[in-house]
Amino acid sequence: MEVHHHPHVPTHSKPWKEYLIEGLMIFVAVTLGYGAENIREHYINKHKGIISVQNLYKDLKDDSLNYQLSIKNRNFQDSCFEVISNLVDEDKIKNEIPTVYAAHANISLRMLPIMNTMALDQIKNSSALNYIEDDELKEMIQSYSSDANGLKLREQREFSFIDRMIDPISTTRFEYKYFKKIGNANLYILNNKIISDIKIPDRLNIVNENTFDWNNYLSVLGMLKTIRESTDENYIIPTQTKCNKLIDLVRKYLEENNALID
């Protein structure tokens, strides 16, 4: 015959202090777990932000060099225009056709710096900006990023003018074979002449020179110079200044977080 044992069921309730202690322990455990998870998430996000800033630092250094080189090349384009202008004023332009070829080949080049936006876009799209604990740095990143649109607009302005006004002259008035070569030559200015490291062919001429309007040509080049000067003054140089300031802020931020990689 089997004997069934019934479980012992307490007939009295726990003291209220025990319930309070158990509830408090559960609350503390949940709070600590939640806090630990937040700390871990914050650390991960900050680490991602630092990596993004490191990538930005590399892009900024490249940008700074590009601005510097671009301004140097654009200044040389302006110098080429001044050579042509002086030759026209002195009525010597027809005797210096090789210089005209060299000047025009350089002036017609499209030279405008392009901002590296990959790291900037990554910072904005990944919300890494929220985990950068430096308000001045965040503001400068946003400000510098907005300058990319300005450079693109100026690029359209300049290149559109070259497309409409300069390229037709290049293709109809210059002997293409030599013009193409001199576009890749090393040039320098000496005694109001543009010297090239490429051998100058004999009897180099402006195509249909008898119908070529030198004053109109000078006006077209002068307008392009004016457009470029405006771009330099109002867009490239301010963006370059902002880029260099941002480099300093990024470098300081990375140093403070022991994450600077040169």
In terms of Cα–Cα distance, which of 242, 226, 219, 195 is closest to 101? 195
How far, in whole angstroms, is CA 185 from its chain's centroid?
Answer: 27
* Two structure tokens written together for 102: 């060299």
In terms of Cα–Cα distance, which of 92, 78, 97 is closest to 174? 97
Per-residue pLDDT of the chain (262 residues; tens, 9 = 90+): 455 555 555 555 666 666 566 666 666 656 655 555 555 555 556 677 788 889 999 999 999 999 999 999 999 999 999 999 999 999 999 999 989 999 999 999 999 999 999 999 888 887 778 878 889 999 999 999 999 999 999 999 999 999 999 999 999 999 887 877 786 788 889 988 888 888 877 788 999 999 999 999 999 999 999 999 999 999 999 999 999 999 999 999 999 998 888 7
Domain boundaries, the chain: 16-256
- Give per-residue pLDDT as tens, 180-197: 778 678 888 998 888 888
CA dist 147 and 116 (Å) reads 11
Q: Which amino acid is at 111?
A: M
Q: What's the confidence (pLDDT) of residue 200?
A: 77
CA dist 209 and 258 (Å) reads 66
Cα–Cα distances in angstroms (integers) from residue 147 to residues 143, 159, 241, 251, in the given order: 7, 18, 12, 21
Please, what's the b/e burial string for 169-204 (b: 16 or more CB within 10 A of its CB; e: otherwise)? bbeebbeeebbeebbeeebebeeeebebebeeeeee
Query: How many residues can be counted in the chain?
Result: 262
Strand locations in 142-232 (E): 187-190, 193-196
